[in-house]
A and B are shown apart, each in its own frame.
Chain A
Amino acid sequence: MSILNELIKKPWLADPSQIEGPQASQSSFMPNRKLGLRVFLVVVTVIFSLSIIAYGDRMLFANWKPMPETWVLWLNTGILITSGIAMQWAKINTIRDNIVGVRDGLVFGGVLTIAFLIGQLYAWEQMVGLGYYANLNTANAFFYMLTGLHGIHMLGGLVAWARSMLKLRKISQLDGSIADVRLSVELCTTYWHYLLLIWLVMFTLLLLS
């Protein structure tokens, strides 16, 4: 039922159809956590969109000196893509009921993400080493801010990832069902893909300007 249809209903008229069925009145058939993640991703989108708008606005000012390209960022991009693939692998294996596959995917994905974050730190290190201090040019400042913001979101993702790992361990020890971890892995994967997308947008932006 579309939300607009719902909004023009006259609620004071008797409508027995609304209490049929054993379930609660849900606006979507998604699990709550999945919907929660979607809403959260909207918030994340707003944060990054506004940062990018601010970036675009400041770019128009004089003396904007873009940062040089560095191979480290290309490498990091590759690592992040690979970690996304690993997470996807884990997700596929939750459906196939292959607990070893899930574990491999998760471990790989997580380790690569940590590698990505270390790589980002190295990129900072390199930029600072080359003298691209944050206070010298706003392009530099944006580079540190955007990558930092993205990194913090990645770190938050790692918290959720760690919880999924714990759950997975519990399952393999207690012989639980893989269904218990299916949703967690699926949500982690969504989040990873989304942050990858944001990174690609930001990276393109950094390259173009």
Chain B
Amino acid sequence: MVLALVLVILAVGSVIFHIWTPWYSTPIASNWGSIDFAIDITFWITGVAYVIILVFMAWCIYKYRYRPDRRADYEPENHRLEWWLTGITSVGVIGLLTPGLLAWNDFVTVPKDALQYEVVGKQWGWNFRLPGKDGKLGTTKIKFISDDNPFGINPKDPNGKDDVLIEDDDLHLPLGVPIKMNLRSLDVLHNFYVPQFRAKMDLVPGMITFFWLEPTRTGTFDILCAELCGLGHHAMRGTVVVDDKTAFNKWLQQQETFATLYPKAAAGDTQLADNIKGPEKTKTVLSSREISSKKLVH
């Protein structure tokens, strides 16, 4: 009796909580309304199922509570009922999956005209790189990194010379333009997450990951790291400001490029580039003998 009542209260209470919750998604600031739509659909379908199942179970518990004079039914299975339930569930699942996969198709299809921006993550902060007039980002490698080239831009790549480097945690994005965010980590895994954009993706050292978005309203938003990256994980913050065209261009013009900030490295000072090498390989248990490895490798 009490249990049945509690089940109903929990079912209805959960729905009421959902409707009046003070904690819910932030107002969206990107084109990913389709994600919010998929969430809403999921809430509807699963919410209805949740309430129906719980109320039915509560009713069963109340109606068929133990009485000495009653005997339970004997019904090993009921194929018709089971097929119906399978069918209804499958329809529900298809209803969830279809909008989901359609939205995912958009998510993985980057528009051809998208701007190429780069997010650089490192323990525990963010840097950014925007292409210059050529619209292309220069290639990078970890081994190019030095005090003179903190982004590790290939000094021999002409595309990299005019790249705009943003060496603090402040990124500006233009309103209403599709942007491909190329994500690159200099050390461990990170995750670029702006709640209002809905999208997020890991930064994986050794590869360049991406997602794309189109900012749909101006404002200042927090960047968080969403992949545990060590002691400073919770403090790895940044800000992204969505500007209208004029404000954005004004901001962009104040930023410095690779060539102006690090003329030495950007000039393709080969001597500099050649000198940058990783530290000597450390010897380990399996490497007890002194021998030059280079000669023997073919």
Contacts and interface: CB of A to CB of B under 8 A. Distances in A.
Interface in A107-164: 124, 128-137, 144
Contacts of A29: none
Contact of B292 (A65, A68, A131): A131
Given A68-B298, A129-B291, A134 B284 contact: yes
Given A128-B286, A128-B287, A128-B288, A136 B293 contact: yes
Interface of chain A: mostly helix, strand, loop or mixed: loop
B287 A135 contact: yes
Interface of chain B: mostly helix, strand, loop or mixed: loop
A132 B286 CA distance: 9
A137 B296 CA distance: 13
Contacts of A128: 286-289
B291 A131 contact: yes
Given A131-B292, A135-B282, A12 B76 contact: yes
Interface in A53-70: 65, 68
Contact of B287 (A10, A65, A68, A134): A134
A133 B296 contact: no
Contact of A10 (B76, B291, B293, B298): B76
B283 interface: yes
B293 A133 contact: yes
B112 interface: no
A136 B291 contact: no
B294 to A, nearest CB: 9
Interface in B251-298: 281-284, 286-289, 291-293, 295-298
* Interface size range on A against B: 10 to 19
Nearest to B206: A61
Contacts of A68: 298
B270 to A, nearest CB: 22
Nearest to A128: B286
B14 to A, nearest CB: 37
Given A10-B76, A12-B76, A68-B298, A131 B293 contact: yes
Interface in A172-191: none
Nearest to A136: B293
Given A12-B76, A128-B289, A133 B284 contact: yes
Contacts of B288: 128
Given A10-B76, A12-B76, A68-B298, A133 B286 contact: yes
A136 B283 CA distance: 9
Nearest to B295: A131
B72 to A, nearest CB: 14
Interface in B201-230: none
Give the interface centre of B281, B286, B288, B291 by most chain A CB atoms within 10 Å.
Answer: B286
A71 B80 CA distance: 68
B293 to A, nearest CB: 4
A104 to B, nearest CB: 38
Q: Which 6 A-B pairs have the closest CB atoms?
A: A133-B287, A131-B293, A131-B291, A12-B76, A134-B286, A131-B296
12 contacts: A10-B76, A68-B298, A128-B286, A129-B289, A130-B291, A131-B287, A131-B293, A133-B281, A133-B284, A134-B284, A134-B287, A137-B297
Interface of B: 76, 281-284, 286-289, 291-293, 295-298
